[in-house]
Amino acid sequence: MSDNTSVALRLPAPRPAQQSAAAYLRHGQTPFFRLPMADFDRPGAAPYAGADAVLLGVPYDGGVTYQPGARLAPYHVRRTSAFVQPFHTFHEIDVFGALAAIDGGNVAIPPFEPEIVRHLVQTEVSRVLAAGATPFLVGGDHSILLPALRAIAARHGPVAVVHVDAHLDTSDGEVWGNDFHHGTPLRHALEEGLVEHGQLHQIAIRASVGSPDDASFGRRFGARVHPLDEVAALGVDAIAAEVRRAVGLRNVYVTFDVDAIDPAFAPGTGTPVPGGLTSREAIALLRGLAGINLVGMDLVEVAPSLDHADVTCHLAAHLLYEGLALAALRMA
């Protein structure tokens, strides 16, 4: 008996929502989630026209204080996101059928010019919003949150922010002599009025801090902190339900720092803090936010060079998929 040589990959007719797995295997490269790429040659400079959601890679880690590497995340998360299929079995929705999502490519930035990076990220997110689409940023380090939120607030006004992180990210320039880095985006966002008072929800916080009053800055703006201990005691479903009640019908931006998750589940990150969320809790947390009015999301601080077996990159792809599902639920 010879092997069955008649077996061939089925190559179905191209579908607009998501490229088939076989087509991806054939050419070996993928946009995020095998989605169509934005058409940058489209006349009228409207590459995002008709999209409900645009994924943007931001290959930048010039805001990192210790271990760099997050600039390579967009490339690796594209690769691992190819594994994700359209049908979401928990929400029972065809995510890419309900949501016209595309890959907007990477924001093309000079990685050594932080101010220009902020300008270009804000400009690109503004373009996505102007097209009526929801931006999903794949970092990059957490400093990219500030320009993203500037664009979001310019369009929507101050929003509610769900911030999942081991760190508060409201530090100042005291330590480094520069207060634009990945430990400060929320300080600027609060000071600039990009976040509605009382609508910063910080979840899974647990890192050691420089002084006992590190959380006092956020408190002045009514920030609500759900430390990891509280999440562990009450469970992620209860935390998600509380956040959902608190944000109500507001526009919500979700900023997800992968170091919120335990390094055992997400080792590929620059400032790991032991004792974090499990992958399952992180996914359940996002699922528990179903019904919120999501106006944007980022997934930041994935550092592929520190990863093992793509664990963190696979998780990042799935967390983004959960965010896309939240947006898809709004379309259904």
Tokens of 164: 């999942």
Measured from the CB atom, the residue of 63 and 105 that comes closer to Mn ion is 63
What mask of x and - would describe binding to Mn ion in positions 141 to 160, judged by CB under 5 A?
-x------------------
188 binds Mn ion per the rule CB under 5 A: no
Stretch that binds Mn ion, among 20-28, 102-110, 161-169, 302-310 (CB under 5 A): 161-169
The minimum distance between CB 167 and Mn ion, in angstroms, equals 4
The values of phi and psi at residue 182, to 5°, are -75, -5
Between the CA of residue 251 and those of 36, 155, 199, 206, 295, what are the distances in Å?
27, 11, 10, 27, 6
The minimum distance between CB 182 and Mn ion, in angstroms, equals 6
The minimum distance between CB 79 and Mn ion, in angstroms, equals 24
Whole-angstrom distance, CA of residue 155 vs CA of residue 37? 24
The minimum distance between CB 207 and Mn ion, in angstroms, equals 7
Whole-angstrom distance, CA of residue 58 vs CA of residue 69? 12
Q: Which residue is listed with tokens 């924001």?
A: 107
Measured from the CB atom, the residue of 97 and 263 that comes closer to Mn ion is 263
Measured from the CB atom, the residue of 207 and 295 that comes closer to Mn ion is 207
Measured from the CB atom, the residue of 81 and 202 that comes closer to Mn ion is 202
Whole-angstrom distance, CA of residue 9 vs CA of residue 21? 9
Q: Which of residues 103-142 bind Mn ion (CB under 5 A)?
A: 142
Stretch that binds Mn ion, among 5-13, 68-76, 168-176, 194-202 (CB under 5 A): 168-176
DSSP secondary-structure letter at 101? E
* Burial annotation 112-151 (CB, 10 A radius, 16+ → b, else e): eebeebbebbbebbbbbbebebbbbbbbbbbbbbbbbbbb
The minimum distance between CB 326 and Mn ion, in angstroms, equals 20
169 binds Mn ion per the rule CB under 5 A: yes
The minimum distance between CB 112 and Mn ion, in angstroms, equals 21
181 binds Mn ion per the rule CB under 5 A: no
Measured from the CB atom, the residue of 118 and 127 that comes closer to Mn ion is 118
209-216 contacts, C-beta under 8 A, 24 or more apart: 209/168, 210/171, 210/174, 210/175, 214/168, 214/170, 214/171, 215/168, 215/170
The minimum distance between CB 187 and Mn ion, in angstroms, equals 12
Whole-angstrom distance, CA of residue 56 vs CA of residue 124? 9
Q: Which residue is listed with tokens 């006092």?
A: 216
Measured from the CB atom, the residue of 48 and 256 that comes closer to Mn ion is 256
**CB-based contacts of 23: which residues, under 8 Å, 6+ apart?**
11, 14, 34
165 binds Mn ion per the rule CB under 5 A: yes
- Asked if 315 contacts 279 with a C-beta cutoff of 8 angstroms, the reply is yes
What mask of x and - would describe binding to Mn ion in positions 239 to 278, judged by CB under 5 A?
------------------x-x-------------------
58 binds Mn ion per the rule CB under 5 A: no
The minimum distance between CB 35 and Mn ion, in angstroms, equals 26
Out of 167, 181, 187, 318, point to the residue binding Mn ion (CB under 5 A): 167
H or E stretch covering 258: none
Measured from the Cβ of residue 307, the count of other Cβ atoms closer than 10 Å reads: 23
166 binds Mn ion per the rule CB under 5 A: yes
- For Mn ion, the binding residues (CB under 5 A) are 142, 165-167, 169, 257, 259
